[in-house]
Amino acid sequence: MAKRRQLRAFDLKQIYGFGGLIGVDEAGRGALAGPVVAAAVLVSQDFLEGRWAVAKSGRVNDSKQLSAGERAELYAGFEELAAQGQIHAHHGVATVAEVETVNILGATKLAMRRALGGIYPPDAFARKAEPDLFASAAEKAAFRPTVSCRILVDGLPLRHFPYPHQGVVSGDARSLCIAMASIIAKVTRDRLMDALDRAHPGYGFAQHKGYGTEEHREAILKLGRSAAHRDSFLRKLYAQPRDLEGQMILFD
């Protein structure tokens, strides 16, 4: 628990000098099937110093370290915080077709851009010159200052990304707002995979969420790919050597 409290302390340091802090993370990047989902969570210093963050942020962690029940409970709590205006959160999805078209990195950036776009458009972060003394009333009215938010993205910085940001390696274990984003992305994607399980029975999407478990790989070899699978991710699977009975030969 003490280690989890460091997430809030980390964000309090990162928000210094800014009006807000946005954490961004994704889910599903390494799966064999299903979309990539990203989430963005905007928090303020008032939130980080407020009752909820002080009392309950210790329950927040990297989504992979939480049970499905813990994630669902926290997700519901985030919905309440958003309804109260204490945080702002949005998710973005990149489809399987987009993964195949722009590759997994491109799809991840696309999902993150869509998540961030639900909070602020990219041009809100552009540097804008303040109207001069002799500007007209209309020009002064049209002026909008640069958004004062720092964006933290889990992992390394992204190249050719429209939002100014800072990469935080293992950010979902270091930053509260990134960890919150990781939970939202994970819960959202899991629900999408549950729907794909109903649409494409036999693959076990509801259990493994599209990741390459042994059961999932065997189901693909038996049933063939579905429309939910990423062809580019299946090449290694189809190239896997098999024994005389057609079973994969797995190596440690």
* Tens digit of each residue's pLDDT (9 = 90 or more) over 157-212: 999 999 999 999 999 999 999 999 999 999 999 999 999 999 999 999 999 999 99
The Cα 145–Cα 74 span in angstroms is 34
For 75, 85, 89, 159, 218, the CA distances from 106, given in Å and listed in that order, are 27, 32, 22, 10, 28
- Residue 208, classed as helix, strand or coil, is helix
Q: What are phi and psi of 153, to 5 degrees?
A: -110, 130
Q: What are phi and psi of 18, to 5 degrees?
A: -120, 155
164 residue type, one letter:
P
What stretches in the chain show pLDDT beneath 70? 1-5, 127-135, 139-146, 240-252
pLDDT computed for residue 62 by the predictor: 80
pLDDT computed for residue 70 by the predictor: 95
pLDDT computed for residue 124 by the predictor: 86
- The pTM for the full model equals 0.87
In sequence order, the 6+-apart residues with CB closer than 8 A to the CB of 180 are: 23, 39, 41, 43, 60, 74, 78, 87, 89
Residue 248: Cβ within 10 Å count: 14
Output DSSP code: residue 157: P
pLDDT computed for residue 252 by the predictor: 33
Q: Which CATH number fits domain 2-199: 3.30.420.10, 3.40.50.2020, 3.30.70.360, 3.30.530.20?
A: 3.30.420.10
pLDDT computed for residue 135 by the predictor: 66
The Cα 66–Cα 196 span in angstroms is 23
167 residue type, one letter:
G
The Cα 114–Cα 177 span in angstroms is 17
Return the domain boundaries, the chain: 2-199
